[in-house]
Amino acid sequence: MDTRKEELKSILKKYGQEHLLNNYENLDEMHQKKLLDQIEKINFELVKSLYLSTKEENKTGKDKIEPIEYMDKFKLNDKYKYYENIGKKAIKEGKLAAVTMAGGQGTRLGHNGPKGTYDIGLDSHKSLFELLCDNLKEEGKKYGVTIPWFIMTSKENNKATVEFFEKHKYFGYQKDKNIFFFMQGELPMIDTEGKILIGEDGLIKLAADGHGGIYESLVKNGMTKKMKQLGVEWAFIGGVDNCLVKMVDPVLMGIAIDSKVTVACKSVVKANPHEKVGVFCKRNGKPNVVEYSEITEEMAEATDENGELLYGESHILCNLFSVDAIERMGANPLPYHVAFKKAKYIDKDGNLIVPDSPNAYKFEAFLFDAFGSVDEMAVLRVKREEEFAPVKNSDDAGVDCPKTARNLYKKFYKLD
Ligand code: UTP
Residue spans of the domains in the chain: they are: 64-412
pLDDT of residue 349 exceeding 90: no
Phi, psi values for residue 31, rounded to 5°: -70, -35
Q: How far is the CA of 338 from the centre of ligand 1 (A)?
A: 15
Please work out whether the CB of residue 315 comes within 6 Å of at least one atom of ligand 1. no
Compare 62 and 386 and report the one with higher pLDDT. Answer: 386
Local confidence band at 62 (pLDDT 50, 70, 90 cut-offs): confident
Among protein residues, the one with the nearest Cα to ligand 1's atom 9 is 106
Contact 23, 346 (CB under 8 A): yes
Q: Please compute the mean of the pLDDT values over residues 138-157 and round it to a whole number.
A: 97
pLDDT at residue 58, rounded to an integer: 66
What share of the chain has pLDDT > 90, as a percent? 93
Cα separation, 294 vs 124, whole angstroms: 41
For range 259-268, the mean pLDDT: 98
Q: How many angstroms is it from 364 CA to the middle of ligand 1?
A: 10
The verdict on the CB of residue 212 being under 6 Å from ligand 1 is no
> Which CATH topology does 64-412 take?
Spore Coat Polysaccharide Biosynthesis Protein SpsA; Chain A (3.90.550)
pLDDT value of position 56: 82
Q: What is the mean pLDDT of residues 256-275?
A: 96
253-256 contacts, C-beta under 8 A, 24 or more apart: 253/86, 253/87, 253/90, 253/91, 253/96, 253/320, 254/82, 254/83, 254/84, 254/85, 254/86, 254/87, 254/88, 254/90, 255/71, 255/83, 255/87, 255/378, 255/380, 256/320, 256/322, 256/378
Confidence of residue 2 (pLDDT cuts 50, 70, 90): confident
On the question of pLDDT at 60 being above 90, the answer is: no
Verify whether ligand 1 is closer than 6 Å to residue 287 (CB atom). no
What integer is the mean pLDDT of 154-159? 95
φ/ψ of residue 336, rounded to 5? -100, 145
Atom of ligand 1 nearest to the CA of 104: 7
Q: Which atom of ligand 1 is nearest to the CA of 105?
A: 7
Are the C-beta atoms of residues 90 and 264 closer than 8 Å to each other?
no
Expressed in angstroms and rounded, the spacing between residue 12 Cα and the centre of ligand 1 is: 32
- Phi, psi values for residue 370, rounded to 5°: -80, -15
Q: How far is CA 235 from the centre of its chain?
A: 14
pTM above the 0.85 mark?
A: yes
Q: Is a pLDDT exceeding 70 seen at residue 146?
A: yes
Residue closest to 211 by CA, chosen among 268, 154, 155: 154
Mean pLDDT value across residues 71-76:
97
How far, in Å, is the centroid of ligand 1 from the Cα of 228? 27
Residue 348 confidence (pLDDT):
86
DSSP per-residue string spanning 113-155: S-GGG-B---TT--BHHHHHHHHHHHHHHHHTS---EEEEE-T
What's the mean pLDDT in 5-28? Answer: 95
101 C-alpha vs ligand 1 centroid, how far in Å? 8
Residue 59: what pLDDT? Answer: 64
Residue 41 has pLDDT above 70, yes or no: yes
> Which residues are registered as beta bridge partners of 392?
none
Question: Is the separation of the CB atoms in 143 and 88 below 8 Å?
Answer: yes
Average pLDDT over residues 17-37: 95
Ramachandran angles phi, psi of 96, nearest 5°: -115, 135
Q: Provide mean pLDDT across the span 11-30.
A: 95
